[in-house]
Chains A and B, each alone.
Chain A
């Protein structure tokens, strides 16, 4: 080999080595893990925490959409084409049934990972945000962001001695955070003063996505109603049972104590009302407490308190406190080609250090953080949230969820707007829901009779007396 040949070979080797190194470097730098979620405080928190991921070659890229149908549709559309435009996503607990066939079954991950195991999450949380079918032990989502409906109230009004005195004079009892919707109605009525720009109660009633029904379901379940019978798939006689009608009627009646037009409100409008001190009480997700308690966002931040939502004494004399579960599970797109990188990221992200940071603004699902003595003091609402976890209920865990939801939304929104009576709206919703289930192939086993209070026959939670919570 002469000198010229050797020089050429060495030069070629150097070029090849440089190219390989460069391409390896590029590949490392190009590892992006894209996630879909709705925009908001919690998605921002995830992005902030991910910036500190030690492996700098991996970048977490958010693909955020507004909360609502666009969010569901974005995930669903990608799954429909079996695409990998995102690697992981946060989806609603009730969407697990619909998306399970497109998501990675996490049991294998639990088996293979040294840290990411099922027992690092509270069993109820893991089941709520990831298990499908219910009770099967098969998981498709991790409890990344827990949430519950809660009560936000004006502490300054509730603690004002003049208000307390006036309330006692009118209703013969102390002014306090209501434990039942019957009490809430009186407190709301007391604070409804349109001439002062003050109203007693704010809640969502809008047509979009699940706005109206997450609120109305909380009333429906507390009064002993049910959406359907999961054993027989009967909807008629359950969704439009007398107890269900009582609950939804109580929900519709509360609009009398809300700002005019609040029947059409979503969470944005409820937040605005809280942040402007326009309402004495509001039914709102714990998710938003971070911003509602932030003085940079709300001028009433130091005047609001957070509590667990009331329950109700139903027509059977039983007390129930049941409200909608919120939040999302974190699922992995099974068409993603970056499962190893994703597993490593999740093993890091679900460490207590990261989850403690997350828990300062949102609700973690990691047991180590939830059980730590300082978690409840991280903000002004975690204590109430930990209590709220015991009273959660959910929609149907069926793949037909988006259709059933839309049908119920239509009818509850119509009842809230006053274009249908509650009885008519629930009967129409029951008719549509049954038709949807039948079309999907479910066999509806019609019983001889239907219960007046369906909760008595489906996993009863009724108690003989009002059980107050702080």
Chain B
């Protein structure tokens, strides 16, 4: 209090001013240095991300085909209104939603279960772990073709196994609902190990002392799993969920190889429609508008999930 009340001398003012200037100089040179270091990455990022996104949005307002090279005709929001009033696009959103829901649910359940088993130390654990990771290393197109042959109604192994136990053969890829489950099974086979990998890492990161204390308090294994293991590994599992949600939402290559979008157009995802409109139809303007819609949805979804993740991380 005494220091605050003391009169400020001109010398003192000058010294404070000089100190402030020095601090500002230091801060600005620091900023300059940071900017200098960041600028190459920023330039690359701008070129690689901002420019394509800007172009995408720009082209979405034109009637334009990259292949036919006709003059670009501005059409305002016509591409958007055409797409959003097309009932087939909504059918694709519904199908994509169903696919994402089934895949992510199955992958999370199987991945967490397998991950929980793999966190335990047992002989041969590393070998099993490596084998489980193998589907994840394959390209989705390869997985699609592989499953296409396995699910062949006449000579595929799946129907062979079904008929060997007296069950009727199923036309997996020729019926809308069966094709949805077939695609979900292929995607789950490929990506459940990814969840298992992250879940194992998260489960093994929980301090053993917490479990010991819970055991002393008489907590059952189920109680320990639901009240300790799951909550404490929630941030990691949530990241896995976000990654799988986004990835499943933009699934394209699996369907190209597995169903070709059929029967009819019943297994066309939104990403499939974007690729088809852009590179088969070469309706570049319309495809750009569809890509913008998809981008907005994925960005919105990611923002919501990341906000939850932040809250969750603060909690645990």
A72 within 8 A of B: yes
Interface flags, B146-162, vs A, CB<8A=1, else 0 = 00000011110000000
| CB-contacts of B261-280 with A (<8 A) | 261-266, 276, 279-280
A403 within 8 A of B: yes
Q: Which residues of A contact B174 (CB under 8 A)?
A: 261, 263-264, 417
| CB-contacts of B137-192 with A (<8 A) | 152-155, 169, 171-176
Partner of A208, one of B67, B260, B264: B260
B129 within 8 A of A: no
A402 and B152 contact, Cβ closer than 8 Å, known pairs A417-B263, A419-B176? no
B281 within 8 A of A: yes
Give the contact stretch, choosing among A40-48, A52-60, A116-124, A406-414.
A406-414
CA distance A414 to B153 in the complex (A): 18
Contact check, B282 vs A80: say whether CB atoms are below 8 A apart.
yes
Contact check, B260 vs A259: say whether CB atoms are below 8 A apart.
no
Partner of B264, one of A68, A81, A101, A413: A413
Contact check, A402 vs B263: say whether CB atoms are below 8 A apart.
no
CA distance A399 to B260 in the complex (A): 23
Contact check, A420 vs B280: say whether CB atoms are below 8 A apart.
no
Shortest distance from the beta carbon of A59 to any chain B beta carbon, whole Å: 29
Contact check, A260 vs B262: say whether CB atoms are below 8 A apart.
no
Contact check, B281 vs A207: say whether CB atoms are below 8 A apart.
no
Q: Which residues of A contact B262 (CB under 8 A)?
A: 206-208, 264, 410, 413-414, 417
Shortest distance from the beta carbon of A403 to any chain B beta carbon, whole Å: 5
Q: Which residues of B contact A98 (CB under 8 A)?
A: 67
CA distance A264 to B172 in the complex (A): 10
Q: Find the B residue at minimum CB distance from A82.
A: B69
Contact check, A207 vs B261: say whether CB atoms are below 8 A apart.
yes
Contact check, A410 vs B264: say whether CB atoms are below 8 A apart.
yes
**Size bracket of the B interface:** 20 to 34
Q: Which residues of A contact B276 (CB under 8 A)?
A: 69, 406
How many chain A residues have a CB neighbour from B under 8 Å? 39
Q: Find the A residue at minimum CB distance from B172.
A: A261
CA distance A391 to B297 in the complex (A): 51
Shortest distance from the beta carbon of B141 to any chain A beta carbon, whole Å: 10
Q: Find the B residue at minimum CB distance from A79.
A: B67
Contact check, A402 vs B171: say whether CB atoms are below 8 A apart.
no
Q: Which residues of A contact B256 (CB under 8 A)?
A: 69-70
CA distance A454 to B154 in the complex (A): 38
B66 within 8 A of A: yes
A207 and B154 contact, Cβ closer than 8 Å, known pairs A76-B282, A80-B66, A402-B281? no
Partner of B173, one of A101, A209, A261, A419: A261
CA distance A79 to B276 in the complex (A): 17
A73 within 8 A of B: yes
Contact check, A261 vs B264: say whether CB atoms are below 8 A apart.
no
Q: Which residues of B contact A70 (CB under 8 A)?
A: 256
Partner of B171, one of A69, A260, A278, A414: A260
Tell me the B residues contacting A by CB distance below 8 Å: 66-69, 152-155, 169, 171-176, 256, 259-266, 276, 279-283
Tell me the A residues contacting B by CB distance below 8 Å: 68-70, 72-73, 76-77, 79-81, 98, 101-102, 206-209, 259-264, 269, 272-273, 278, 399, 402-403, 406, 410-411, 413-414, 416-417, 419-420
Give me 9 A-to-B residue pairs in the complex whose CB atoms sit less than 8 angstroms apart, sorted by A's number. Answer: A68-B260, A208-B262, A261-B174, A262-B153, A269-B154, A406-B276, A410-B262, A414-B265, A417-B263
Which 8 interchain pairs have the tightest Cβ spacing? A207-B262, A261-B153, A414-B264, A417-B263, A208-B260, A264-B174, A261-B171, A80-B66
